[in-house]
Homo-oligomer: A and B are copies of this chain.
Amino acid sequence: MRRIDNKEIFSKHGIKNTKQRNVILDILKNTDSPITAEEIFIRSQDSNVNMNFSTVYRILNTFVLKDIAIKTSIGEDDKNLYELNMEEHSHYLICLSCKKMIKIGHCPLEEYESQIQRNTKFRIIGHKLEIHGYCPECIEEDMHENKN
C-alpha cells in the first residue's frame, strides 16, 4: 500500500510541516482502528518529539477540518475517537465486551442511500454504521466463567 508523504499532505492543505504533526499523522497511519486523543498522546511519547495534550487536540482538530482525519463518537464511553480519512469507505464491527474493533470491508448501503435520496429529497453525503456484538474470544471466555 502506497502511502502519500506527510510533507505532501501538509503542503496540499496549506498547513506547516511540524514535528508534532508528523508524529501524529504517523500514529494515525499506523493504527487500523480509531483511537482516542489520549492514546495518541501516549504513543507520541515513544518519539523523541516534545508533545503536549493541547497540541494533540489542536492538531487533531486541524486534521479533521482539513479532512485528513475523521472524528467519530463511536465508543461507549464518551471519548472521541480519531482515524485517518481513507477514501475507501469502511465500517466497524465492535465487541461490546473487549471493545475490539474490526474493520468491515464491503458496505451494503449504497443502493439503500440512493433509494432514500429519491424518497426524501435529502442530498445524502455519507453515513456512519457500527455493528455491535460479542467477538468469538469474549463469547468463549464468558462460557468458561459461567461454568464456575
Contacts and interface: CB of A to CB of B under 8 A. Distances in A.
Among the interface residues A113, A121, A129, A133, which one has the most CB atoms of the partner chain B within 10 A?
A: A133
Contacts of A128: 128-130, 132
25 contacts: A73-B73, A78-B80, A96-B125, A102-B120, A108-B108, A108-B112, A109-B129, A117-B133, A120-B135, A120-B136, A121-B135, A121-B136, A122-B134, A123-B134, A123-B139, A124-B131, A124-B132, A124-B133, A125-B132, A126-B132, A126-B133, A127-B129, A128-B130, A129-B129, A129-B130
A137 to B, nearest CB: 10
A15 interface: no
How many subunits of this chain does the assembly comprise? 2
Interface residues of A, number: 34
